[in-house]
Structure 1
Amino acid sequence: MSIAQTHVAVIGAGPSGLMAAEVLAQGGARVTVYDAMPSAGRKFLMAGRGGLNLTHSEALPAFLARYRAAMPQLAAAIEVFPPDRLRQWSEQLGQPTFVGSSGRVFPKAFKASPLLRAWLRRLDSMGVQLKLRQRWTGWDGQGRLLFETPDGTQTIEASATVLALGGGSWPRLGSDGGWTETLGSKGVTILPLRSANCGFTVAWSDIFRDRFEGLPLKGIALTFGAHIVRGEAVITRTGIEGGAIYALSADLRETIVDSGRATLLIALRPDLSINELVARLSMPKGKQSFSNWLRKAAHLSPVGIGLLQEAAVASGASLSSLSAERLAGLINAVPVQLNGVAAIARAISTAGGIAFDELDADFMIRRLPGVFAAGEMLDWEAPTGGYLLQASFATGAAAGRGALKYLATE
């Protein structure tokens, strides 16, 4: 079969799908990208709202380790399309990148929209068609793709299909996880979609919640088990979220699933030793209120002091009655009881998805010859910092290469 004469359907116009489409078009296939939303790349644009973190600059062995249990399954795809190649690809689209102070990589424009616009123009010039408001619902009895469209049900015949429908987070942007039932009905093993890079619920007191909702905890260190993360977190009405929380979210989530709760330790002044804190807290209070004295002596924010008071009340103690030693210990190990995982609709990404055992080395679903899958549909998760997008781009490219290989043998 001549590849140039074959029609390949890519379902999903996010990073994985668009990258698969580009690889397929470069390989000579006739490609149509279908998406249920009115425009392409909606979640991609949301990801870049505060600055598009494309990838990370750390050495590849450390980079790959961020994927934890899924590293063996993702390594080959990322090694073929590594961070340096993603940066070159962005530059070729007129969007040069830079490395931030944290090692994260961003386009110099800092936004997703210029990159997406340039990418869509390139795909259009390659002959890739984009069909929107096309919701994929499965296959008919002849194996043709079914779509619900504004004009009713449409059937499409494709020589190969790449599925890149995302996970289950931010469903209003298109990733609603509806595909799990469609593939599950075909016997494909799907691990339940779960919140990843997410916040957690805490039973705050009404006083703390009303006063500190939306305020950040800056310059903190979070400890859970053997893991310590520096960064920031934000108090929410129902709990806590933020970059440092997301970095621990996989372990926190699994502990809560297993036992119903998890105890997170927050160091409010991680750069100060216990001895230094004790010395500061041994200074006379004078006529100052306890909170004002604590703010000045330990350089704590009001929300930090409020967090200490929450912990003291939970333990049945009065914060002002603690010795300098006990107070110093509490400041750098404030226990926060997490009692639930934030809803998947508010998570940055999801864990779970198509089990890797269901895929061959080319990302084809073994039970469905000619059907490939990529991106967050697969059972992997990674922290924020560029790792999510990198694996989405890399697996999209791998699925595109796999589809070309399949077509060449048909």
Structure 2
Amino acid sequence: MENLQLYIALAVLVFMIISFLIHKFPYGLTAMTCVIVLALTGVIDVGTAFSGLSHTTTILVATMMVVAGAIGKTSIAYRIRQKMAVIQGKNGFLLVALISLFSLVLCQIMGQTAVMAIMLLIVQTLDDEKDVSQSRMILLVSAVICAWFGRFPVGMGAALPLSTNALYEGLVEGNSEYLLGMFDILKVGLIPSIALTIYCVFAWRLIPKQKIDASAVETGQASAQAEASVSKRGEMIIIGVFVLVMAAFVFSDQLGKLIYIFPAVGVLVLIYTNILSVREVVGTLTSDMIWMVAGILVISSALSSSGAGEFVGNMVLRILGSNPSSLLVITVFCVTTVIMTNFLSNNGTTAIMVPIAASTALAGGMNPKAVVLVVFCSSCLAIAFPTGCAAATMGYAIGNHNPIKTLKFTIPYLLIGMVTLIFSANFFFPVYG
């Protein structure tokens, strides 16, 4: 019976991958179809099937899109658009560099969803007829976020070494020297991050030019051309709500799970003050992107519980063989993790691969810290497919991108990321060091 569930989960994964690549149906429809199939075949129960709709990540994505969209009703969007038009007209390179810089700075202090929501405000102000278009820049932002996610131990990034340690600290039996330090991720990931940012700044034209999915940003898109569509009082309320929500993300460590409540509170304030109508809010909360996020969360869980993720991970052990070199170990774990993270999600891949990496290292007399760092940094390179991470999900959904058409941008991105990471890991953290 367990083998049957494994095969069903793998078949559903293959279907999802093919459907996403063909892009004949909306991403959300594909994701929820997979969820229903998993429930009907008994791989997951009914409660789990719909748990994605109430998952904190889904709620955060949905409510943040509403709050971010409300900014489009203020004169801020108009002013930003004017400034961007001047920069875009004079120097497209400077504009792309500034967007990349803003993205990498913001992703050090807050989560991917919040950063994408903020950067969407800037991207929406761009002239979609120019080369530096909205659809290109929203995927570029996703790529920069993936390159820099969790590098500095500040804000939400401060918890990443600890949460990663929790996945394998039981295996090292109290040997603290085998656990990640606060700056270890930065040490091994800085060279790949810089290389990938340089690539993004110069290779953004490889991203296909599309029309963005207006339904994903419906609350603010229509007013981007106008100076403001709300009163001064309404504008102050919107700005106040936005600042409050952003401040909550900055203090996420202190607030804990309350962080997920603040955007929802902001949405309620905007509704009760008649700045947003219920219809506008519902339109955003039920967009295709939200269904996609909810579905992928459940699918990732099903792949783990059915053993499909472990099945893929165990293939690594057979590839390594006996007495592997440091370069081979790091290369195999890097490549395997990158492939998995783009289809299974970065969090799910990390949860699966870290224990396997640590166990393999200990069994072979290697330093588990070195292999775990490779797995973590590799799992961040989740840009080639919408299921990889929240930034990729939003980038593909909003930008209306087909993963096949973006391969000319994403494949070189992944190759550069892997080569530089393998070099950096071998230099700073050799597995036999």
The TM-score bracket by the shorter chain reads under 0.3
TM-score scaled by structure 2?
A: 0.23
Larger strand fraction of residues = 1
Pick the structure with more helix per residue. 2
Query: Which has the larger Rg?
Result: 1
Q: Give the TM-score normalised by the residue count of structure 1.
A: 0.23
